């Protein structure tokens, strides 16, 4: 599903180049789940952005669902993101002017999918069926993130990329949201790459890798 080979990435800063990824290899099979751990600033978000084609590596190859990102045009990468990827971030990134139901189906519609039945079922599973006509600001943080997860999955992506999806939530809602995310991912059969700095959260995924000094440390399988 996702292959990264010898990925290097440095950011240009006023103090000179800041190397972040220094030869990262990663592969994730279809339907598999992987937790990406590491200290703050270790490059987890950078790696996720590269996997999503939101930024480009300095060198190395990334293949997403059979397509090489480095040689794909920006429109082709955008199309791949729309149709094959779901993205969830720490910030919920909902559209404030759209209702809950419209936020949920927005990405699916952009992906060219008709989803009336599935979206109703999804709203129910998210615990948001009664709130379909409300607006994001009328929801709690946990509800907003459930909606963001539902939106990411509504288009039936092959891979969900999640960057600390429970990082903005209190412990109780983080637990609920994480459990729901893992259930929905499992039932949809999509692969999951999730950034977390919580070992406890990571332990609920099949595989764990840790970024340190620009490299991925050997993994511990479940």
Give the one entry of ligand ADP, Mg ion, none that residue 105 binds, where binding means its C-beta sits below a cut-off of 5 to 8 angstroms depending on kind. Answer: none
Give the one entry of Mg ion, ligand ADP, none that residue 41 binds, where binding means its C-beta sits below a cut-off of 5 to 8 angstroms depending on kind. Answer: ligand ADP
Give the one entry of Mg ion, ligand ADP, none that residue 210 binds, where binding means its C-beta sits below a cut-off of 5 to 8 angstroms depending on kind. Answer: none
User: Interface with Mg ion includes 42 (CB under 5 A)?
Assistant: no
Quick one: 13 or 73, whose CB is closer to ligand ADP? 13
Q: Are 138 and 162 in contact (CB under 8 A)?
A: no
In DSSP terms, 62 is beta-bridged to: 4
As measured in angstroms, the least distance from the Cβ of 36 to ligand ADP is 9
CA distance 185 to 86: 11
User: Interface with Mg ion includes 115 (CB under 5 A)?
Assistant: no
As measured in angstroms, the least distance from the Cβ of 38 to ligand ADP is 5
Quick one: 45 or 107, whose CB is closer to Mg ion? 45
State the Cα angle at 167 between 161 and 172, rounded to 5°: 115
Query: 102 burial class (0-12, 13-18, 19+ CB within 10 angstroms)?
Result: middle
- Under the rule (CB under 6 A), what is the footprint of ligand ADP? 11, 13, 18, 20, 38, 40-46
**Whole-Å CA distances, 212 to 1, 23, 42, 161:** 24, 11, 6, 20
Give the one entry of ligand ADP, Mg ion, none that residue 136 binds, where binding means its C-beta sits below a cut-off of 5 to 8 angstroms depending on kind. Answer: none
Dihedral of alpha carbons 24, 209, 1, 73, sign: negative
Query: 188 burial class (0-12, 13-18, 19+ CB within 10 angstroms)?
Result: middle
User: Interface with Mg ion includes 45 (CB under 5 A)?
Assistant: yes
CA distance 82 to 44: 22
As measured in angstroms, the least distance from the Cβ of 45 to Mg ion is 3
As measured in angstroms, the least distance from the Cβ of 127 to ligand ADP is 29
Q: Which residues bind Mg ion (CB under 5 A)?
A: 44-45
């Amino acid at each position: 599903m996702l292959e990264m080979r010898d990925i290097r990435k440095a950011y240009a800063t006023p103090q000179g180049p800041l190397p972040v990824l220094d030869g990262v290899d990663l592969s994730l099979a279809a339907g598999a789940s992987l937790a990406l751990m590491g200290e703050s600033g270790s490059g987890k978000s950078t790696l996720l952005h590269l996997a999503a084609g939101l930024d480009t590596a300095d060198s190395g190859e990334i293949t997403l669902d059979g397509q090489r990102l480095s040689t794909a045009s920006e429109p082709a990468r955008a199309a791949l993101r729309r149709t094959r990827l779901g993205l969830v971030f720490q910030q919920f990134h909902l559209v404030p002017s759209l209702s809950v139901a419209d936020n949920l189906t927005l990405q699916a519609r952009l992906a060219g999918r008709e989803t009336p039945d599935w979206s109703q079922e999804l709203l129910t599973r998210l615990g948001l069926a009664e709130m379909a006509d409300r607006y994001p600001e009328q929801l709690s943080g946990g509800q907003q993130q459930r909606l963001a997860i539902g939106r990411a999955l509504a288009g039936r992506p092959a891979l969900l990329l999640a960057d600390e999806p429970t990082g903005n939530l209190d412990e109780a809602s983080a637990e609920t949201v994480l459990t729901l995310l893992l259930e929905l991912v499992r039932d949809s059969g999509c692969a999951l790459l999730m950034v977390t700095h919580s070992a406890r959260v990571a332990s609920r995924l099949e595989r764990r890798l840790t970024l340190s000094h620009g490299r991925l440390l050997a993994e511990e399988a479940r």
